[in-house]
């Protein structure tokens, strides 16, 4: 769907039922809980080495702290580095954080595709974990990561309260991208805010409740949270499905209209 069609769908969309979305989410979770764990595992395997790079410069500091024998409370590390080195390190940290965010968004976008395949029980190819991290999609995700970071930082700068407002549209950006990766970054952001603004309270409630449910895995000796963590994305998938829907819905609608017209 193009931007105009998506905006029309949002304008005419009725508010989904909160309880119905949660009920469907539990049913779908039974089918995709292992997929959620695998997506989490893939994200961790790719991003953890990147995050470890951030701590490499501190290894000599840790070694010096151990060798000093003065105890951590008395140890004073030497951070007397050239300004250019500090600037380069800060820039590297920023780039690595953005890349880890890109990987996380890309893998999550693929998870939404898997949810669609399992939900509709069709034979659509989900195209693999790294489909959204290739070619033009990687560039879009990179810009989206910068955009979401900038929006979030802007909200925080305004005394934190606006972060509650923007958190809803920001949560919708990945699902909008997953099913409309042909759109530009600005279109994806504007559609996410349009959809989030119209159903803000509903989506906010879904985020809070699903986040609490996703943490229930802690009960199972903490390891269970790795299997429940991705539950938080399933209600967002159903919210998108109930409000905007997929290209197939538009095609089926056009097909039914043509059949009725011909008859």
pLDDT digits (tens, 9 = 90+) for 180-193: 999 999 999 999 99
Q: Is the pLDDT assigned to residue 62 strictly greater than 50?
A: yes
Mean per-residue pLDDT for 186-212? Answer: 95
- Measured between alpha carbons, how far is 44 from 183 in angstroms, rounded to an integer? 28
* pLDDT digit string, tens, across residues 163-183: 888 999 999 999 999 999 999
- Measured between alpha carbons, how far is 39 from 44 in angstroms, rounded to an integer? 9
- Measured between alpha carbons, how far is 148 from 154 in angstroms, rounded to an integer? 10
- Measured between alpha carbons, how far is 67 from 61 in angstroms, rounded to an integer? 10
Mean per-residue pLDDT for 149-160? Answer: 84
- pLDDT category at 260 given cuts 50, 70, 90 is very low
- Measured between alpha carbons, how far is 98 from 149 in angstroms, rounded to an integer? 9
Sign of CA dihedral 204, 207, 210, 213: negative
Residue 171 backbone phi and psi in degrees, to 5: -70, -25
Q: What pTM was estimated for this model as a whole?
A: 0.85
Radius of gyration of the chain (CA): 22
**What single-letter DSSP state applies at residue 164?**
H
Q: Is the pLDDT assigned to residue 14 strictly greater than 60?
A: yes
- pLDDT category at 21 given cuts 50, 70, 90 is very high
- pLDDT category at 132 given cuts 50, 70, 90 is very high
- Measured between alpha carbons, how far is 263 from 254 in angstroms, rounded to an integer? 14
* pLDDT digit string, tens, across residues 223-254: 778 889 999 999 999 999 999 998 755 444 44
- Say if residues 210 and 186 touch (Cβ distance below 8 Å): no
Q: List the one residue out of 224, 122, 108 whose CA is nearest residue 174.
A: 108
Q: Is the pLDDT assigned to residue 72 strictly greater than 60?
A: no
- Measured between alpha carbons, how far is 8 from 74 in angstroms, rounded to an integer? 64
- Say if residues 200 and 162 touch (Cβ distance below 8 Å): no
Convert 16-48 to b/e letters by CB count within 10 Å (16 or more is b).
beeeebbebbeebbeebbebbbbbbebbeebbe
């Amino acid at each position: 769907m193009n931007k105009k069609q998506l905006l029309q769908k949002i304008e005419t969309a009725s508010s989904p039922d909160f309880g119905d979305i949660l009920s469907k989410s539990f049913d779908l979770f039974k089918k995709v809980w292992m997929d959620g764990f695998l997506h989490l595992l893939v994200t961790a395997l790719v991003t953890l080495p990147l995050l470890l790079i951030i701590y490499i410069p501190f290894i000599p500091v840790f070694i010096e702290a151990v060798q000093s024998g003065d105890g951590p409370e008395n140890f004073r590390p030497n951070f007397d580095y050239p300004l250019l080195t500090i600037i380069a390190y800060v820039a590297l940290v920023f780039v690595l954080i953005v890349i880890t965010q890109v990987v996380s968004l890309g893998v999550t976008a693929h998870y939404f595709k898997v949810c669609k395949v399992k939900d509709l029980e069709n034979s659509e190819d989900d195209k693999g974990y790294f489909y959204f991290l290739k070619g033009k999609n990687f560039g879009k995700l990179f810009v989206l990561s910068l955009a979401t970071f900038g929006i979030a930082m802007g909200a925080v700068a305004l005394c934190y309260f606006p972060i509650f407002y923007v958190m809803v549209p920001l949560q919708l950006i990945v699902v909008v991208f997953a099913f409309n990766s042909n759109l530009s970054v600005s279109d994806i952001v504007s559609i996410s805010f349009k959809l989030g603004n119209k159903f803000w309270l509903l989506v906010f409630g879904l985020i809070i409740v699903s986040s609490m449910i996703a943490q229930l895995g802690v009960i199972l000796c903490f390891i269970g949270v790795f299997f429940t963590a991705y539950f938080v994305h399933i209600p967002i998938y159903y919210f998108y499905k109930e409000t905007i829907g997929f290209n197939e819905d538009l095609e089926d609608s056009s097909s039914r209209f043509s059949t009725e017209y011909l008859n």
